[in-house]
Amino acid sequence: MSKIFVVVNPASGHYHRDTVGAAIERAAATGGRGLEFREISAGESVSDIIRAAAARGFDMFVAVGGDGTVSGVVEGLDGALLPIAIVPAGTGNLLARGLGVPLDPVEAAGLIAGEHAIRTIDAMRVGTSVFVLNIGVGISSATVRDTSNADKRRFGRAAYVGTGLPKLLGFRPCRFAVTVDGRTTRVRATEVTVANCDFIGDIPWPWAPEILPDDGKLDLCLLLVPTAAESIRSGLRVMRHHRKPVPNVRWLRARRSVKIEANRILPVQGDGDLIGETPVEVTVLPQAVRVIVPRG
């Protein structure tokens, strides 16, 4: 009999056992499958919990939380192509948005037993950790560092906007050396992002080439040093969903690896969490994750 392991991040703030938990239980019962819930306590590692569950024979995993919870499940599976269902309960839920998973947690839970498809997507490795959305250095990582959990719970995604807009206008540029598949580009920039998913916040990446999470490649966005007026115009274009190219944005594409170095130590964010400091090396993991998505 198929067995489903559900990992829940109660700190995400959008999980309600009476509704979301009950919907998952109904889905498991419909398919006649075993089910086990596990809430994460402070300080516990999602990847360690998932690794132990996989060793016990569970063959489907449900991530109830934000993008960081999903990344922890992916990391814990250690490349095993077992299906993952995403029940969005975090602040951004960017992977769910990018894959068309319903943002309503109860609807998303319904995919487990309802009509669905499996999409196999790429991932990224940094050290021993695995990520599925993006790795960022510069404005994005400073914004993640300085946005409190209390503000995220209170304001949702708007918390990042409140922290990020001053960063956009006041961040001190760096000199970056960005090595893509062995070839180094040197730029003066305020942000370098390695993207596997085409969403930032709740809108598509502005001015971007087509970013696909299952093409075996990663896309790099280099935000070169703009004037104050360019920063304001760029911010307005993002908010208005304009996709007109911007002169101070450059795109590169990686098939194997990326290394980001800076002339001063900067924080690094991965899928919305702080993961370390520069320099950082990212390895492409093609076709590494199987995710349950709506059919069609």
Joined together, the tokens standing for residue 126 give 């940094």
- Write phi, then psi, for 281 (nearest 5 degrees): -120, 135
Model confidence at 291: pLDDT above 70 = yes
Model confidence at 209: pLDDT above 80 = no
* pLDDT-derived band at 231, boundaries 50, 70, 90: low
Model confidence at 17: pLDDT above 90 = no
Model confidence at 282: pLDDT above 80 = yes
Model confidence at 120: pLDDT above 60 = yes
* pLDDT-derived band at 170, boundaries 50, 70, 90: low
Per DSSP bridges, beta strands 116-126 and 280-294 are antiparallel
Looking at residue 178, its pLDDT comes to 98
DSSP category for residue 95: H
* pLDDT-derived band at 93, boundaries 50, 70, 90: confident
**Domains defined along the chain, listed by start:** 3-114 (3.40.50.10330), 134-285 (2.60.200.40)
Question: In angstroms, rounded to a whole number, what is the distance separating the alpha carbons of residues 161 and 203?
Answer: 13
- Nearest to residue 180, comparing CAs of 222, 211, 214? 222
Residue 277 in 3-state DSSP? strand
Question: In angstroms, rounded to a whole number, what is the distance separating the alpha carbons of residues 87 and 106?
Answer: 8
**Which stretch of 32-36, 138-142, 150-154, 261-265 has the lowest confidence by average pLDDT?**
150-154
Amino acid at 216: G
HEC letters along 187-199:
EEEEEEEEECCCE
111 in Cβ contact with 294 (< 8 Å): yes
Looking at residue 30, its pLDDT comes to 84
pTM: 0.84
Looking at residue 33, its pLDDT comes to 86
Which secondary structure element, helix H or strand E, spans residue 224, and what is its range?
strand 218-224
* pLDDT-derived band at 253, boundaries 50, 70, 90: very high
User: In the predicted model, what is the mean pLDDT of residues 32-50?
Assistant: 90
**Which stretch of 8-22, 211-225, 272-286 has the lowest confidence by average pLDDT?**
8-22
User: In the predicted model, what is the mean pLDDT of residues 200-206?
Assistant: 54
- Cβ-Cβ contacts under 8 Å for 142 (sequence gap 6 or more): 167, 171, 266, 267
User: In the predicted model, what is the mean pLDDT of residues 150-170?
Assistant: 62
**Which stretch of 10-24, 47-61, 221-235, 243-257 has the lowest confidence by average pLDDT?**
221-235
**Which stretch of 93-107, 117-131, 169-183, 241-255 has the lowest confidence by average pLDDT?**
241-255
Question: In angstroms, rounded to a whole number, what is the distance separating the alpha carbons of residues 136 and 195?
Answer: 8
92 in Cβ contact with 157 (< 8 Å): yes
290 in Cβ contact with 120 (< 8 Å): yes
Q: For a pLDDT cut of 90, what percent of the chain falls above it?
A: 54
Model confidence at 121: pLDDT above 90 = yes
Question: In angstroms, rounded to a whole number, what is the distance separating the alpha carbons of residues 23 and 110?
Answer: 7
Model confidence at 285: pLDDT above 90 = yes
